[in-house]
Structure 1
Amino acid sequence: MSSDRAKLAVLIVGYRNPDDIQRCLRSLASSDWQDFEVYICENGGKKAFETLVAALVGRERVVPCTQDEDDVIDAPGGRFDSIFKCRFQDRPISVRVGLARDNLGYGGGINAWLERLLGSRGWEAVLVLNPDTDVQESCLTEFMVKASQGFGMIGGTLVFDHAPDKIINYGLHWSPVTGRVLAVGRNSMAGSSPTPEVLSRIDSISGACVLVTRAFVEDVGLMAEEYFLYMEDVDWGRRRGKHRIGFAERAIIRHVGGTAIGSAIDPKKQSFLSVYLSARNSILFARRWAKRRWLLHFGWGLLHAVRYVVIGAPLAAKVTLVGLMDGAQGKSGKPDASVRLPQPG
């Protein structure tokens, strides 16, 4: 038996970052949209799960709830070893934290809850949300209004946490020539919205904050899990078929970025795991979407490795080469123990 769900399910994947999740939940608790539930997948192991639960019960003062034995979504098993159910203290909105049996990656963490939701009635959309985001009070309402207008994949005004007057992107565009993913509208002023011409260039909404309707999930399917992290959002958008991309201008989301894995932007402070996955997944994605042209994308990847050398980051160049070769060999999913990445100094 499965109970009716709230109209909106908010899905969050965490990895040993309870402070981020607490901040995100605080912003959700202030939402003017009432009909939603929150589902968190903790990918960081049992200790991380226990730390997160303790933080929520302690500092965030959530109220533990009795799990419904007749509701399959509350039952541990499958991809979750344990599930903790609670609700916001001052609002009857459920929050569930699932302990993943392993590090499922981003797509896997989202899918672990989506698989359960697909067996439930009532919900109309899911909002995939990075834990290091902060949503404005009217954000969820604006997303749901846009969904009611017939859009299947919707983005909002995603801004830098340190510079909330600037857009991170309206969405993402994959270049079939170079294989690079471009952030459409990056550094535009907040309050602006993409023109129809700009919107037509968008292949997908960033997985940092994207709403998809139930019809989208049922038609398009789950997120691709072979990437582990990065490119699963672009892949989802490229598979969207008849489902239109929309933009909710007044749905404002602040995003820190890189709190769980680190940033690959600054070569002096970068995460080599981020560099590796970016390189590997660019080739995995190209093998799926560019067919034989993936060899051209491999060449562009080599130029990117050379760029690291030129700017004085030889270890990042080496990691890029490892990622490119693994992508060419079709290695996917969670990086295995054979991948030895240097640690940034």
Structure 2
Amino acid sequence: MKKVYIVLLNYKGIKDTLECLESLLKLDYPNFQIFVVDNTEAQHDQDLFADWAQGKPVQIDTAFENLVYPLAVKPVDHTITSQHEFLAGSFNQKIVFVKSDRNGGFSAGNNIALRHILKFGDKDSFIWLLNNDTVAKKESLSELTAFAGMEENKNTGIIGCRLVYYYTPDKIQAVGGRFNETFFISEHEGEGQPVTTAKSNFRRIDYVIGASMFVPYTFLHDVGLLSEDYFLYYEELDWTYRARKKGWSIDWCPEAIVYHKEGASIGSSYREKKSLFSEEQLFKSRRIFIKKFYTLSGKFYLSGLLLMANRIRKGNFKAAAAVAKTMYK
């Protein structure tokens, strides 16, 4: 049974992260180790992680509602360390809590753990990058490892899952993403479809959604870390483009189900209008990605105008201004 390293990134999301951890401890695949990288500036979340892992009652500001997995108070093997100390050695505990030096964004935070895995990890292992605002179904990791182990998937570098809306678990959030090279616009494949929809009914995906990315160690060693050119968004597309240049493919496992709250830590959710911060980061990262893999041609500016018009149509004038800012800076 191959080892799996699970990486969670926390930023002021203790409620979500603890629920995610509870679900992971109930997985039916036992050979895994969890790295929780805390990007929160304050020490508060780190202290709560320590209390929870020691089996102490955890008091938080937000009530736990709509939980798939209610919190259980029980001790778990763990260690707490700083980013500097973490990179200096290896650990055998079930959960490693790592305090980062700064909030460098999604890629930078995950890379703290990925660098450690590259240096000290089992070379025949897998890595599962998972958003902290997710809850994993107990069979999900077994299904992912089985899917990755199939002969026909030996060149599959990034494997996604069936992401399901946490608050409406009968509907799919996405099975992957598609990228329109004409207008440089991405969209979720399968969004809103019934959770029971067969894989054959979906179109081919162009990239795996960053909320759940399962990769073999050999892929990480060959393709490298997540690009820190981006603070948030487009990291998975960047990883995919670099992977394809090296002969890797992507796919998704239909039997692996992960419930996703979608953007809980950044104010981005399908249930509410996206925050201005998430809109700004989306457009900023979009420009970086297109400039890196294409060119900032007339298509880029035309598509930007269309995105701006769409925001104006919805009355989101601040988001429209954010589009304009990234187009002409």
More off after superposition, 135-144 vs 188-197 = 188-197
How far apart are residue 6 of structure 1 and its match?
6.9
CA distance in 1, matches of 2:34, 2:328: 39
How far apart are residue 243 of structure 1 and its match?
1.9
Q: Which of 248, 256, 267 in structure 1 is aligned with 2:253? A: 248
SS of alignment partner, residue 279 of structure 2:
helix
1:319-330, aligned counterparts within 5 Å?
319-326=322-329
Paired position in structure 1 for 2:136: 135
Q: How many residues align?
A: 305
**Alpha carbons of 1:183 and 1:20: their partners in 2 closer, same or farther (altered >3 Å)?**
same
More off after superposition, 20-29 vs 178-187 = 178-187
1:250-289, aligned counterparts within 5 Å?
250-263=255-268, 269-289=273-293
Normalising by structure 1, what TM-score?
0.80
How far apart are residue 40 of structure 1 and its match?
0.8
How far apart are residue 187 of structure 1 and its match?
1.8
Instruction: Name structure 2 gaps, 5 residues minimum.
Output: 58-71
Percent of paired sites with the same residue: 24
SS of alignment partner, residue 39 of structure 1:
strand
One-letter amino acid of the counterpart of residue 278, structure 2: S
Pair 1:33 & 2:29 matched: yes
1:56-95, aligned counterparts within 5 Å?
56-57=53-54, 58-59=56-57, 61=73, 63=75, 65=77, 76-78=82-84, 94-95=94-95
One-letter amino acid of the counterpart of residue 44, structure 1: T
One-letter amino acid of the counterpart of residue 35, structure 2: Y
1:104-253, aligned counterparts within 5 Å?
104-122=104-122, 124-149=125-150, 150=154, 151-195=156-200, 198-199=203-204, 202-241=205-244, 242-253=247-258
**Alpha carbons of 1:318 and 1:220: their partners in 2 closer, same or farther (altered >3 Å)?**
same
**Alpha carbons of 1:143 and 1:66: their partners in 2 closer, same or farther (altered >3 Å)?**
closer
Paired position in structure 1 for 2:65: none
One-letter amino acid of the counterpart of residue 33, structure 1: Y
**Alpha carbons of 1:291 and 1:21: their partners in 2 closer, same or farther (altered >3 Å)?**
same
Superposition RMSD in Å:
2.7
CA distance in 2, matches of 1:44, 1:79: 18
CA distance in 1, matches of 2:18, 2:277: 25
> Once superposed, which parts of structure 1, at least 4 consecutive aligned residues long, lie more than 6 Å away?
79-83
How far apart are residue 226 of structure 1 and its match?
1.1
One-letter amino acid of the counterpart of residue 32, structure 2: F
Paired position in structure 2 for 1:291: 295
- Verify the 8 A CA contact 2:4 2:33 in the aligned structure 1: yes
- Verify the 8 A CA contact 2:27 2:138 in the aligned structure 1: yes
CA distance in 1, matches of 2:73, 2:326: 43
**Alpha carbons of 1:277 and 1:140: their partners in 2 closer, same or farther (altered >3 Å)?**
same
SS of alignment partner, residue 316 of structure 1:
helix
**Alpha carbons of 1:66 and 1:25: their partners in 2 closer, same or farther (altered >3 Å)?**
closer
Normalising by structure 2, what TM-score?
0.84
- Verify the 8 A CA contact 1:264 1:274 in the aligned structure 2: no
